[in-house]
């Protein structure tokens, strides 16, 4: 694809081929050299552990072209920390910081022509993934792994952009178990979410809210994003052992506190939904997606919020984006300037 053909302000959140990706193999107990590849494909053994037993982890982060022309990558060290938590949870080797940073800088520099210009609302999504490549047929860990990092220009995950969405709360599916892999960013959690997500789309909803798997009393996760709510000058977000620790949510907690809200990370009972002034989903892809209604698929209960994004959703969204695009000082040290 020629980058001049891309309509930057109409980009969906979808795969776009770029020029290069970076790869690194882990063999004989150590990481090898970084390799630049122009192939979109991976050649691997049909019995690789990633294919059978989901020995796979991934990450997602974004780089933003600022009004000053600089390119800033958001909180990559936090993504690396979570990647390594996921690796540890699936018996995969962790990735050294120096290797990860070198690969990130290189893959972005090599694909600079795909970085969306400032003012288009789009950004460069960076997707690292690691797979077990060793052949096994008994359930076992591989001892060989492949790390791949690729990038693509993306627009908003929910095509509505910064507009409110309707979501469906389900009780007949769980995304992850309380002591399972929900805290890890691994494909299995997403596989478990495909069917309820498709059903929710078919029934007219943008995504699914899962409840805690044990008691079905508390809000857990909101599709590929964390859930948050605002009431009485408080920013409230679920504490749970089965949700992914969202870096966007961590950032919003910090910003909320900085802007005068009290932050509560705690269990969020379903009944409390009727007490919130604003609710939303947050994540790298979702950014902040304000929620207009939550429909409980089983009971038919419906929780309604404003048609328009609420004032706190707006303020938090604007503040976060101002830091990401370099329009406000990065007083928390979240961004890293990247050549490109
Ligand atoms: N929850 C799930 C299940 C996700 O896939 C994501 C996306 O990464 C998030 C939450 C948000 O996390 P982050 O803000 O780090 O992107
Ligand atoms: C992200 O927000 O980076 C994600 O990984 C969401 C993705 C599963 C679509």
* Predicted local distance difference test score (pLDDT) of residue 322: 97
| Cβ-count burial 68-87 (b if 16+ within 10 Å, e if not) | eebbbbbbbebbbebbbbbb
The answer to whether 246 and 276 are in contact (CB under 8 A) is no
Reported as a single tens digit per residue, the pLDDT across 55-96 is 999 999 999 999 999 999 999 999 999 999 999 999 999 999
Compute the distance between CA of residue 165 and CA of residue 150 in angstroms, rounded to an integer: 29
Stretch 319-340: mean pLDDT, rounded?
Answer: 96
State which CATH number among 3.30.470.10, 3.20.20.70, 3.40.50.11540, 3.40.50.2000 fits the domain covering 8-154: 3.30.470.10
Scan for tokens 């690396």, then name that residue: 80
Please determine whether the domains at 8-154 and 165-324 fall in the same fold group of CATH.
no
3-class DSSP assignment, residue 53: helix
Stretch 128-143: mean pLDDT, rounded?
Answer: 98
* Predicted local distance difference test score (pLDDT) of residue 33: 98
Atom of ligand 2 nearest to the CA of 190: 8
- Domains of the chain, by residue range, sit at 8-154, 165-324
- State the average pLDDT for the chain: 96
CA of 28 to the centre of ligand 1 (A): 32
Q: Is 232 left (phi over 0), alpha (psi -120 to 50) or beta?
A: left
Full-model pTM: 0.97
Whether the predicted pLDDT of 132 surpasses 70: yes
The CATH number of the domain covering residues in 165-324 = 3.20.10.10
Query: 30: which strand partners?
Result: 27
- Output the residue whose Cα is nearest ligand 2's atom 5: 60
| Residue in 62, 80, 190, 283 to alter for ligand 1 test, most ligand atoms within 8 A of Cβ | 283
With a Cβ cut-off of 6 Å, ligand 1 is lined by: 60, 221, 224-226, 244, 246-249, 283-284
With a Cβ cut-off of 6 Å, ligand 2 is lined by: 60, 224, 283-285
The answer to whether 324 and 197 are in contact (CB under 8 A) is no
Whether the predicted pLDDT of 1 surpasses 80: no
The helices-and-strands tally (H runs, E runs) of the chain is 6, 18
pLDDT band at 159 (very low <50, low <70, confident <90, very high): confident
CA of 312 to the centre of ligand 1 (A): 20
């Amino acid at each position: 694809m020629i980058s001049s053909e891309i309509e930057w302000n109409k980009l969906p959140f979808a795969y776009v081929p770029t020029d290069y990706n970076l790869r690194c193999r882990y063999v004989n107990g150590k990481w090898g050299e970084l390799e630049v590849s122009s192939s979109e494909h991976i050649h691997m053994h049909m019995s690789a552990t990633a294919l059978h037993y989901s020995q796979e982890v991934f990450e997602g982060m974004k780089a933003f072209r600022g009004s000053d022309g600089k390119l800033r990558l958001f909180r990559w060290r936090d993504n690396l920390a979570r990647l390594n938590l996921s690796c540890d949870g699936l018996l995969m080797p962790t990735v050294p910081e120096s290797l990860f940073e070198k690969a990130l800088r290189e893959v972005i520099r090599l694909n600079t022509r795909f970085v969306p210009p400032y003012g288009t609302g789009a950004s460069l999504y960076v997707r690292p993934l690691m797979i077990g490549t060793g052949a096994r047929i008994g359930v076992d860990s591989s001892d060989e792994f492949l790390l791949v990092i690729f990038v693509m220009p993306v627009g908003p995950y929910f095509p509505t952009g910064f507009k409110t969405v309707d979501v469906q709360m389900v009780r007949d599916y769980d995304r992850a178990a309380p002591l399972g892999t929900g805290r890890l960013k691994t494909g299995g959690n997403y596989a478990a979410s495909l069917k309820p997500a498709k059903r929710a789309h078919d029934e007219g909803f943008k995504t699914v809210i899962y409840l805690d798997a044990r008691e079905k009393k508390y809000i857990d996760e909101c599709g590929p994003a964390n859930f948050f709510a605002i009431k009485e000058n408080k920013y409230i977000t679920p504490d749970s052992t089965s949700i992914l620790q969202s870096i966007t949510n961590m950032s919003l907690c910090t910003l909320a506190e900085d802007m005068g809200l009290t932050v509560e990370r705690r269990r969020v009972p379903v009944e409390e939904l009727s007490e919130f002034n604003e609710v939303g989903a947050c994540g790298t892809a979702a950014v902040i997606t304000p929620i207009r209604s939550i429909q409980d698929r089983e009971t038919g209960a419906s929780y309604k919020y404003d048609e328009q994004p609420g004032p706190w959703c707006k303020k938090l969204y604007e503040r976060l984006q101002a830091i990401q695009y370099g329009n406000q000082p990065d007083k928390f040290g979240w961004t890293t300037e990247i050549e490109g």
